[in-house]
Amino acid sequence: MSEQNLVKIDGSPALTPRDEIAAHLGRLRLHYPMREMSEEHVRLVMEDYLDDLEQFRPELIEMALRHYRRTPGTKWFPTVGEIMACLRPLTTRVYSDGRGGHPPRVPLSKSFDRRIAEVIPRIAKP
């Protein structure tokens, strides 16, 4: 079954991973409006973000964006590099040798670490 034909158990259409990522980015845009860009420019930039981020699981992107949004001093919509910096400790833990991975390369809050510890076992399985 192709990704375009995915359906949920109840028969409603399921989102593809790319659609889920787009939804997470769109939600973040509500917090950080891109007023200097036309809607067409925003659409093109979001397509680039999707191309760069679709290698990651939507759940990890959601966690990284939530962390970015809750980090004091974040006034602007993040660059792809900033999102990837938030993803780095998550992907290191998910794809590590099973002993917890390397220490995070960006500072994370204790509550964020606890949330990761709860979620990683569920999403680390292929």
- Comparing CA positions, the residue from 33, 126, 46, 49 lying closest to residue 87 is 49
Structure tokens that stand for 38 in this block = 């036309």
Predicted confidence (pLDDT) per residue in 8-62, tens digit: 566 666 788 899 999 999 999 999 988 888 999 999 999 999 999 988 889 999 9
Please check whether residue 116 is in contact with residue 93, taking contact to mean a CB–CB distance below 8 angstroms. yes
> Can you give the residue ranges of every domain in the chain?
3-123
CB of 29 closer than 8 Å to CB of 23: no
pLDDT computed for residue 9 by the predictor: 62
